[in-house]
Structure 1
Amino acid sequence: MSLPPVDTPLYNHPLPAIEDWLRLKGCQQDKTNLHHWYVQRSNWEAELWLEVDSLAVRYIAAGLGGKDIQRSFKYSLSRKDLEDAIFSGP
């Protein structure tokens, strides 16, 4: 499936396109909880959840004292904005 232009809000992407995008960004889907994804980079790792109105991200042990950092991004943001915000790390 081809992805809509990068400036398209995520809410205008069909679910299979969002899943393809996450795979292209190196995310792995949980086989039992299909709305749950995991991504690992050299210096951080995160869990992502496709919620009803937003994409939630939890950067694992990325905060002070090894605490998790959790953020939520509305689907009204463009895919480009979400890429920049999520995949640049905590």
Structure 2
Amino acid sequence: MAAWVGGSQQRQNPCLWDLHQPQWSALIELEVEAFTVRWQHQGQISERRFPYGLSRADAEAAILAGP
């Protein structure tokens, strides 16, 4: 799978991707039926789960929208 909008795949677990932005960071976990994004911003964690049925553009927009 191509890099998630500038994210990097973890070597020890290819289902996990790290994404760092100036205001927040995110961990993207690829699961069987969906993917989960956990954003960290100012010590708070927000989590959302997205179906794979989203277009790539919609998935990237949702991730980059941040927490």
Say if 2:50 is the partner of 1:73: yes
Instruction: Give unpaired runs (5+ residues) of structure 2.
Output: none
Please report the TM-score for the alignment, with normalisation by the length of structure 2.
0.89
Bigger Rg, which one: 1
Alignment correspondent of 1:82 = 59
**Runs in 1 of length 4+ with deviation above 3 angstroms?**
none
Q: How does 1:17-32 map to 2 (within 5 A)?
A: 19-22=1-4, 25-32=5-12
Task: List per-residue Cα deviations over 1:8-42 (Å, max 9, x = no partner).
Answer: xxxxxxxxxxx2142xx110111011100100001
Please report the TM-score for the alignment, with normalisation by the length of structure 1.
0.68
Contact 2:3 2:9 in 1 (8 A): no
Letter paired with 2:60: E
Q: Which has the higher helix share?
A: 1
Structure 1 residue 67: Cα displacement: 2.4
2:38 maps to which of 58, 61, 65: 58
Task: Say which SS state the counterpart of residue 89 (structure 1) adopts.
Answer: coil
